[in-house]
Amino acid sequence: MDELKLLREMHDDVPGVTDAAVNQGREQLLRRMDPERSGAQKAKKKHRRKALRIAVMSVATLGLAAALVAGNVIGVSRPQGLASADAAEVLNNAAELTIKTADPVVGPGQFLKVDSTNLWLSMMGAHNPPDGVGAHGEMEWLDTEKMSLYIPANRDQEWVWERSGRIPTTFFDEKSKEFALNQAKEMGDTSELLKGVGGAFYNSPSSFPDEKDMAAYSRDPRMLLDGIYKRTAGAGQSADGEALVYIADLLRTGMVPADLRAALYKAAALIPGVSVTDNQATLDGQTGIAIGRVEKASDFRQDIIIDPATGQLIGEREVALTDRGSIPAGTAVGWTTIRTTVVDSAP
Amino acid sequence: MTTDSDIIRSSGESPQAFTQLYDKYARMVFRYAARRAGESAAEDVMAETFLVAFERRESFDHAWEDARPWLFGIATNLLRKHHRTEAKMLKVTAKASGRESYTDSTERIAEQLDAAAATSALAGALRKLSAADRECILLYAWAELSYEGIAAATKVPIGTVRSRLNRTRRILKEAAGPLMNNIEEAGHGRAQAIA
């Protein structure tokens, strides 16, 4: 028995399609071929819209998956150039402040608690092909999910993960709002309280970075960045963009020790195209400086937001720079804010 | 012999010819969609796949005789709007213990429980995959597309398909591996007993 054979047998017991459904589908197809046929439906010509190429975040991950669908494959080449001078200054300052910060000590029996608020993009409809015929057309809205992850002092012990489930919170048109709220009502409460030894939730190996991985990253910014380019080779829309996404993903786990956080900031300062994108960026009520990079291939911008006074990471976000369906240009279509504390017990 | 490519060509002149493609593949598309997102979603996906395909028939790449990669590519896109249902189905499978199954032999029951546990672990791992990785492995395992077929269906280079499948199979193996060994051992034990 191998994993493929097992997979081939999974959900193998679905009932066959009814003849009625087959006939109905056939009838729909015939009507499309000949609009005069029953009902004299006029063939609606949908306007062509630029394909929106965002992968909907997997519900079951903390969001370690990159948000952009892998596009052009780009080999590892050592890029030239640096972040803009002002971005480098903010990042290097934040690194200096961070290195002086003592990480909270998690004593025996205690937990590192990572609270996060996450905004996810939800899309429905046949967005690729862009002129696909969806029963509901294209719809988009944003969901919020709050999570608390309790990591035991001894990371081999049981972790606890509270998840609120995705709750639709931000809408751009009435049609999507109605659909999203109805769907949410239908789904009911999707909150979860998960437990997993060693961070292995959903009966799957842990997807969180472990202490060994953290220790293995170089603390030299150049070497660290080169390592990240190697790890992300071929992913994302561009090598530089993917490197920044990787850094943002790692930082937002809330599990990165201070010396590595400092090195990651300095590494980000070495990425070409990174600049200060917003001096007064507010995310979930907290204000900081946004450092980011525009991905020209997809017209998205990845930002990391830092509190300049403390060097602490407030969060990260992904901003759409052009209209995406009903979502206006300039909207943050995904973000995460984190807060870490040490607590004595987990639920 | 009439290939799918021929059918699509002739549907340029006489659209009704396209129904041959529907009759040939509708049930196949339904089955794939139903395994991923349940029957009710599958009925919609089946019908919509062919509506989209019909409207886009000019974009069909006639280097292919077989229309399945093209159709499953469209179905895959349509299935994205059912991602919540898919996640929920996987969640249910991941939580199923297999205790409701019954047979006449204790050895068989033990093996079934192991198989159910391995399937649960597999569903849990599938649920955690990125959408692109999940689509890739399911097009391979459930739609039975070739590497080339998956590349055409998902519009990525074949190297990407290869690396996605390698990575995904590794993840699935890691998730279900220890439990699968038990099934294998049970099988050996029985074979020896018979010999």
Task: Give the residue carrying structure tokens 């269906």.
Answer: B153
CB atoms within 10 A of CB A310: 14
Identify from A6, A45, A127, A208 which residue to disrupt to test chain B contact, counting B C-beta atoms within 10 A and taking the largest count: A6
Longest alpha-carbon distance in chain A: 75
Identify from A33, A203, A242, A245 which residue to disrupt to test chain B contact, counting B C-beta atoms within 10 A and taking the largest count: A203
Q: Are both B187 and B125 inside the same structural domain?
A: yes
How far is residue A167's CA from residue A59's CA, in Å, rounded to a whole number?
12
B124 contacts on A by Cβ (under 8 Å): 202-204
Looking only at the bridges linking them, the beta strands covering A158-163 and A286-295 are: unpaired
Asked if the C-beta of A51 comes within 8 angstroms of chain B's C-beta atoms, the answer is: no
Residue A223, token pair as written in the block: 């070497």
Alpha helix (H) residue ranges in B14-82: 19-55, 68-79
How far is residue A244's CA from residue A87's CA, in Å, rounded to a whole number?
13
Query: Is the model's pLDDT at B191 over the cut of 80?
Result: no
Which residue from B3, B120, B21 is spatially nearest to B63, judged by alpha carbons?
A: B3
Q: Are both B139 and B179 inside the same structural domain?
A: yes
Which residues, at least 6 apart from B88, have a Cβ–Cβ distance to it below 8 Å? A187
Determine the angle formed by the axes of helices B131-141 and B19-55, rounding to 10 degrees. Answer: 170
Residue A221, token pair as written in the block: 């910014």
Distance from CA of A341 to the nearest CA of B (A): 27
What's CA A131's distance to the chain center, in Å?
Answer: 26
Query: Is the model's pLDDT at B142 over the cut of 70?
Result: yes
Cβ-Cβ contacts under 8 Å between A and B: the total is: 187
Name the residue of chain A whose CA is nearest to B81's CA: A124
Residue B90 lies inside a defined structural domain of this protein: no
Q: Are both B154 and B177 inside the same structural domain?
A: yes
Residue B119 lies inside a defined structural domain of this protein: yes
CB atoms within 10 A of CB A233: 15
Residue B89 lies inside a defined structural domain of this protein: no
pLDDT computed for residue B112 by the predictor: 64
For A:252-281, CB contacts with B below 8 A are none
Contact flag B39-A134 (C-beta cutoff 8 Å): no
Residue B157, token pair as written in the block: 């280079």
A186, with CB counted inside 10 A (0-12, 13-18, 19+), is exposed
Which domain-ending residue is among B53, B82, B111? B82
Residue B91 lies inside a defined structural domain of this protein: no
Collapsing DSSP to helix, strand or coil, A342 comes out as strand
Q: Are both B29 and B59 inside the same structural domain?
A: yes
How far is residue A91's CA from residue A98's CA, in Å, rounded to a whole number?
10
Of B132, B142, B172, the CB nearest to A70: B132
Q: Are both B136 and B179 inside the same structural domain?
A: yes
Is residue A131 within 8 A of residue A46, CB to CB? The reply is yes
pLDDT computed for residue A35 by the predictor: 57
Residue B88 lies inside a defined structural domain of this protein: no
Which residue from A202, A196, A260 is spatially nearest to A228, judged by alpha carbons?
A: A260
How many structural domains is chain B composed of?
A: 2
Which residues, at least 6 apart from A158, have a Cβ–Cβ distance to it below 8 Å? A152, A195, A196, A197
CATH code for the domain in which residue B183 is found = 1.10.10.10
Which residue from B99, B88, B108 is spatially nearest to A192, judged by alpha carbons?
A: B88
CATH code for the domain in which residue B10 is found = 1.10.1740.10
Asked if the C-beta of A25 comes within 8 angstroms of chain B's C-beta atoms, the answer is: yes
Write out chain A's pLDDT in tens, 347 residues: 688 888 998 888 787 788 778 888 888 888 787 655 433 333 332 222 222 222 222 222 323 333 223 333 333 344 456 788 889 999 999 999 988 887 889 999 999 999 999 888 876 643 333 333 333 456 788 989 899 999 999 999 999 999 888 889 999 999 889 878 887 776 677 788 989 899 887 655 576 888 888 899 999 999 999 999 988 776 667 889 889 988 988 898 889 999 999 999 999 999 999 999 999 898 888 999 999 999 887 788 999 999 988 888 999 998 999 888 788 999 998 899 999 999 999 99
Query: Is the model's pLDDT at B63 over the cut of 90?
Result: no
- If one compares A26 and B186, the residue with the highest pLDDT of the two is A26
CB atoms within 10 A of CB A129: 18
What's CA A232's distance to the chain center, in Å?
Answer: 16
Task: Give the residue carrying structure tokens 């170089």.
Answer: A218
- If one compares B112 and A13, the residue with the highest pLDDT of the two is A13
Is residue A25 within 8 A of residue B46, CB to CB? The reply is yes
Q: How far is CA A246 from CA A52, A117, A252, in A?
A: 22, 19, 10
pLDDT computed for residue A70 by the predictor: 30
Collapsing DSSP to helix, strand or coil, A144 comes out as strand
Compute the mean pLDDT over every residue in chain B, rounded to the nearest whole number: 83
Which residue from B82, B85, B55 is spatially nearest to B70, judged by alpha carbons?
A: B55
What is the 8-class DSSP label of residue A324? B
Distance from CA of B76 to the nearest CA of A (A): 10
- If one compares B111 and A219, the residue with the highest pLDDT of the two is A219
Q: Are both B106 and B26 inside the same structural domain?
A: no
Task: Concatenate the DSSP letters of all residues of B60-107 into one string.
Answer: --TT-S--HHHHHHHHHHHHGGGHHHHHHHHHHHHH--STT---S-HH
Which residue from A208, A300, A207, A305 is spatially nearest to A248, judged by alpha carbons?
A: A305
pLDDT band for position B12 (cuts 50, 70, 90):
confident
How far is residue A132's CA from residue B41's CA, in Å, rounded to a whole number?
16
Q: Are both B5 and B77 inside the same structural domain?
A: yes
pLDDT band for position B111 (cuts 50, 70, 90):
low
Residue B56 lies inside a defined structural domain of this protein: yes
Of A21, A29, A61, the CB nearest to B22: A29
Q: Are both B106 and B48 inside the same structural domain?
A: no
Q: Which residues constitute the domain of residue B53? A: 1-82
Which residue from A65, A114, A84, A101 is spatially nearest to A307, judged by alpha carbons?
A: A101
What's CA B140's distance to the chain center, in Å?
Answer: 6
Is residue A25 within 8 A of residue B26, CB to CB? The reply is yes
B179, with CB counted inside 10 A (0-12, 13-18, 19+), is buried
pTM for the complete prediction? 0.52
Q: What are phi and psi of A192, to 5 degrees?
A: -140, 145
Radius of gyration of chain B (CA): 20
Q: Note the ipTM here.
A: 0.85
How far is residue B8's CA from residue B33's CA, in Å, rounded to a whole number?
23
Looking only at the bridges linking them, the beta strands covering A286-295 and A275-283 are: antiparallel
Collapsing DSSP to helix, strand or coil, B143 comes out as coil
Stated length of chain A: 347
Is residue A315 within 8 A of residue A252, CB to CB? The reply is yes
pLDDT computed for residue A112 by the predictor: 95
